[in-house]
Structure 1
Amino acid sequence: MEIDIPDTFVEERTRVAGTQGHQWIAGIPALVERLCERWDLRLDSEPPRHGANSLVLAARRRVDGAPCVLKVCQPPETTVTEAIGLRAWAGRGVVRLLDARTDDGALLLERLDAGRSLSDLELLPAADLPGAPTRPHPTPPPPGTRGHAYTATDLAHPLGPRQRALGGPLPGPWVDLAARMARDLASDAGESLVHADLHYGNVLAGTREPWLAIDPRPVAGDPEYSVPELMWTRIDEAAEPADVRDLLTALADAGGLDRDRARAWTVVRAVDYWLWGLDVGLTEDPVRCRRLVDTLAG
């Protein structure tokens, strides 16, 4: 089986995983052929798409011609939590899982329109879609799902030491505020099943619902946890402080979320991401985080 694997994907996996990544790439044709036989699929002619660690191929079921996609990931264990979350959501607001072979790092998913995401809409219309993409579904988290009580606690304690280790680049009051907010959030964290990697590019156009989320990283906690990434990924389009506040309000109201809790999670996660970005040498995202915190920390 010949598969035109994008050079950018080969370079990324080799850079991240070295020899192991190169060997996995070389084994993709045989893996895909085996999966197609198991699930009785034929590949479509459109070129594969990819993320940082996954290759996605358009396919159809031979028995009825129904469109689907085959997703293969490295390392394969990354599919375990994704499959658990998708099974729990059962297609409510997210892409539907058709089958999984987590030992092979493979998921069979319903096909969405990969050429249309919420990134294509103007900022406020994308944020203000009724209930999407932050709408909380009344889905209890599966046993063992990591909770936000632990996430918030894990964030609260090291913020100060991380700030000092970098030479104090952030205003000290903001770091202290984020630590206090994180402790408050940990004290009464929710127990919803939450998509912890939600951004506009991870919400694609569907047919059974207008917009469906993909690539979930499921955690148990507050649906407001999803707001910060939706803030900082397109904050450059919010020119003024009032626009930033309007964006937060639109996201919270569209999802039926608590505005104060959405603001708190945004400040906490923006400070965390800001420190991480400075530590690894990012240049643009720390500036975006500074705008967020500067606007919302007052």
Structure 2
Amino acid sequence: MVFEPPQRLVRALGETAPDGDGWLETLPQAVRQAVALRELTVDRVQAPGGRTSLVVLVRRADGSPAVLKLAPPRFRPEAERAALTHWDGLGAVQLLEGPTTPGALLLERLHPDVSVRSLPEAKALLEAAGTLRRLWVEPPVGHPFESVAERTGRQAEAMRASASTEPDVAALVDAALAAREGLLAAPPEHLLLHGTFRQSKVLAGERMPWLAVGPDPVAGERAFDLARLVRDRVEDLIASPSGAASTRRRVKRLAESLELDQERVRGWTLFRAVESGVRALRVGRRKDAELLLEFAGWL
């Protein structure tokens, strides 16, 4: 099999590992090995694809469609495998049985070009929230998932370092870090979370109308999982004269629909928006950073 990885993936990997880690160089061989081991036939590479993994549309030996997903170790593919195994298809894409190789997952094929994002906004939020609710379960005993405190702790250190070189964002960083400290002081629960949930992570399926894909699982409180969903379609929010009011209404509506504390949803949304904005600044995506930080200022 001869292929070029999608440029979106190449650019994103360059941002997260500017000096490279050798994964892209070994990717063609890893794909060939994974395909041969599982006796797969390749249909095509999904493009533009994701920012953290290569997605290949394949067929199994019996002709049934599937997806082969390969990701570098720094994006925790084995944690994703563990989460999908635990969910066992309830609200999430099904992990298919077969040979196991590090960093490679064989998944049920959904409709990769049809996400909840294709629906009108109100309907999209409703369907996405309903899908997310099914994923919030007790993690398995001895689970491998990092906690919200651990993940955001690393992010907080990077935010502090960036704030020292970007004084314009210092006030927002301080507010985000203060929100995190308050939220971690008394977490209300410790559940398995998707970790990177948004509308584009919910795809149409045959087995169920909508199923979640692409988790970066973490264990913690549910409000953390809503934070990325609150800022979906951020470009539309920023362009709207009522964007700030719409954002606050969205926080309220999502919190109420899932019976969560509105202030905890707001706090995690603030932290995660500022973290994403500061990270975008750090890698030179200034336009993205400006959108995210303006959004964060509304919270």
Instruction: Assess same fold via TM > 0.5.
Output: yes
Shift of 1:5: 4.0
Q: Are residues 112 and 256 of structure 1, via their aligned partners in 2, closer, same or farther at CA, if it must alter by over 3 Å? A: farther
Instruction: State the distance in 2 between where 1:47 and 1:157 align.
Output: 36
Distance 1:171 1:52, change over 3 A: closer
Matched to 2:193, the amino acid is V
Q: Does 1:269 align with 2:272?
A: yes
CA gap 1:9/1:90 in 2 versus in 1, 3 angstroms: same
TM-score, with structure 2 as normaliser = 0.82
> Any conservation in 1 of the 2:223–2:268 contact (CA below 8 Å)?
yes
Q: 1:178 to 1:21 in 2, by over 3 A?
A: closer
| 1:226-237 map, 5 Å | 226-237=225-236
CA shift, 1:277, in A, is: 2.5
- The match for 1:90 is 88
Gaps in structure 2 of 5+ consecutive residues: none
Q: Which has the larger radius of gyration?
A: 1
What SS does the aligned partner of 1:135 have? helix
1:229-248 → structure 2 map (5 Å cutoff) = 229-238=228-237, 239=240, 240=242, 241-248=244-251
RMSD of aligned alpha carbons: 3.0
Contact map agreement 1:136 1:194 (CA 8 A) in 2:
no
What is the CA–CA distance in structure 1 between the aligned matches of 2:150 and 2:13, rounded to whole Å?
A: 33
**Equivalent residues of 1:152, 1:186 under 8 A apart:** no
Question: What is aligned with 1:59?
Answer: 58
> How far is the alpha carbon of 1:193 from its aligned partner?
0.4
For 1:68, the equivalent position in structure 2 comes to: 66
Structure 1 residues 33 and 270, CA gap change in structure 2 (3 angstroms):
closer
In 1, the alpha carbon distance for the partners of 2:111 and 2:252 equals 28
Q: How far apart, CA to CA, are the structure 1 residues paired with 2:75 and 2:225?
A: 23
The equivalent residue for 1:219 is 218
Report if aligned partners of 1:13, 1:22 keep a CA contact under 8 Å in 2. no
Unaligned runs of 5+ in 1: none
> What does residue 125 of structure 1 align with?
123
Instruction: Specify the code of the residue in structure 1 equivalent to 2:295.
Output: L
Matched, 1:279 2:278: no
CA distances 1:6-25 after superposition (whole Å, capped 9, x unpaired): 55378548855758245313
- Residue 47 of structure 1 and its aligned partner are, at CA, apart by 4.6
Q: Greater shift after overlay, 212-221 or 72-81?
A: 72-81
Separation (CA, whole Å) in 1 of partners of 2:12 and 2:30:
12
Aligned residues of 2:128 and 2:198 also touching (Cα < 8 A): no
2:137 equivalent among 136, 139, 142: 139
Query: Which residue of 282, 288, 293 maps to 2:296?
Result: 293
Q: Residue in 2 aligned with 1:150?
A: 150
1:268 positional shift: 1.5
The match for 1:81 is 79
1:34 aligns with: 36
Sequence identity (%): 28
Cα contact 1:131–1:256 (8 A) shared by 2: no
How many residues are treated as equivalent by the alignment? Answer: 288
In the superposition, relative to structure 1, how do residues 11 and 158 fare at CA in structure 2: closer, same or farther (>3 Å)?
Answer: closer
Q: 1:21 to 1:175 in 2, by over 3 A?
A: closer
Deviates further, 191-200 or 253-262: 253-262
TM-score by structure 1 length?
Answer: 0.82
Write the distance in 2 (CA, Å) between the matches of 1:30 and 1:133. Answer: 34
Secondary structure of the corresponding residue to residue 260 of structure 2: coil
Q: Deviations over 1:114-168 (max 9, x none)?
A: 01012222323211227434325452223232112334555567755542x1242
